[in-house]
Each structure stands twice: as C-alpha cells, then as structure tokens.
Amino acid sequence: MKVLVAVKRVLDYNVKVRVKPDNSGVDLANVKMAMNPFCEIAVEEAVRLKEKGIATEIVVATIGPKVTQEQLRTALALGADRAIQIETDEEVQSLEAAKLLKALVDKEQPGLVILGKQSIDSDNNQTGQMLAQLTGMGQGTFASELVIEGDNAQVTREIDGGLVTVSLKLPAVVTTDLRLNEPRYASLPNIMKAKKKPLETMTPADLGVEVAPRLTTLKVEAPKPRQAGIKVEDVAQLVDKLKNEAKVI
C-alpha cells in the first residue's frame, strides 16, 4: 500500500511570534522554520505502518516556495521514500491546498492519505476534510489511534465524552491528533541518505490548479498583555474581589 503524507512548513513552535509593524501579518524574517508538529506525527505514523509491513512506499508532499524542500528532506530522513514539492510563492489557502493534494492523489493513487489535523500557523483545520470531500474518500479526523486491517482502517477519535472508533474503507483520508504517536528524531546517517532520495518538483499549473487567494487578511494583532494575578488571604477576600473588582458574580 502506498501512503501519501502531506506536510507544511511553519514557524517553529519554540519561536515567539512577532507581528509586523504594519499589522499585515506575522514577521517571518530571520526566524527558525520547521515542519508543522501535527505533520511530524503524520510522517511518523506512515513510517510505523511501513515498519509493520503494511505500507510499501511513503510519498511525502508539500506546497510552498523552494525553501520548503528543507522539510521534505527532514521527512525523507525520518523514513519517507520519496518527496514531491509543489513549488509556488503564492499564499496557498486551505481549499487550494486540498485541490492540489487531490491532483496528487489522482496522480499517485495512494491507498491512504495522512495529514496533520491542522497547522499551527493558520489553525484552520480544514484541508483534510476538504480533501476527503474532493476525492470522495472516507475520512477519520483527529486520530489518536490508527489500525489497518486488510482494506479497512479503524480510526479512534477523542470526543468530549470519551472515545469513538470509526471504520473506513480504503483508500481514505486520516488526520492526526497529538496522542497518535511520538515522532522520532532523524539520525545522522539517515539525514545523509535523505540527500540521495528522489525529490520531484512541479508547479500548480502542472496539476491544473489555480492558487490565487480567495480570502484577504485585513489585520493581524498581537494579544493584549495580561495583568499579573494576585494572591488572596481567604475565600471571603476572593469573593469580595470577584464581586466588586472583577464583577463576575
């Protein structure tokens, strides 16, 4: 079974986000970029499926400028077999990303598509669901456990009241949650081997997809600083402050 994994280049989660002076977006100049954490989980799950003998080939794909090849090489070092970059300098929003991935699905014919449930930059949580709709595949979102049995995938999802398990007929789309696995670190030998693995580059035009943004960001603002908390001596003082200062009771 071929597994297609989509990954995204985002601001490293350890970096403090800075807003541009003109409030037009987030300042990405001279900051560390990395693979989206949920995408790392998706790559790890695909590698584990291959180690179990379920997956025969792992194809990792990304959309973005040339520098996104860095994240593809990371995925190759983690265990992916080959990579595809859809190169564009345009802003790619959720629907356009889903359309591009749909074109890749048509081209590669994978038995399973795995994506992170969301990216930590836009937090839209849309691409996986849109891709499932465009391809007509079943979808298992927010997967905390994935079991492949023959032509079926059992996906366990966390919900407010506990856990729910859905059965999907393959091929299917699965989006990963945090508790699905713990991604491994790439070893130095595998990083060196990744440089020799195939990396194919194409453009949205090659796939017949237009990536012009449909949404416009009007303004980005940093959250207002929060006031420091205080300690109270007893319950009576707490109630008094909640009633007279915070005015929440």
Q: Structure tokens of 38?
A: 């949920």
pLDDT score of 41 = 97
Q: Rounded CA gap, 115 and 3, in Å?
A: 11
What's this model's pTM, rounded to 2 decimal places?
A: 0.87
pLDDT, average across residues 97-103: 96
pLDDT higher than threshold 90 for residue 181: yes
pLDDT tens readout for residues 190-246: 999 999 999 999 999 999 999 888 888 899 988 888 888 889 999 999 999 899 988
Q: Which residue from 113, 116, 189, 104 is spatially nearest to 153, judged by alpha carbons?
A: 113
pLDDT tens readout for residues 35-80: 999 999 999 999 999 999 999 999 999 999 999 999 999 999 999 9
Assign 130 to helix, strand or coil: helix
State which fold the 2-244 domain adopts.
Rossmann fold (3.40.50)
Q: Rounded CA gap, 86 and 72, in Å?
A: 11
User: Quick one: which H or E segment has residue 43?
Assistant: helix 37-51
Q: Rounded CA gap, 62 and 56, in Å?
A: 20
pLDDT score of 213 = 85
Domain residue extents for the chain: 2-244
Q: Look over the chain and give the mean of its residue pLDDT values, rounded to a whole number.
A: 93
Residues contacting 106, CB < 8 A, separation 6+: none
Q: Rounded CA gap, 238 and 89, in Å?
A: 54
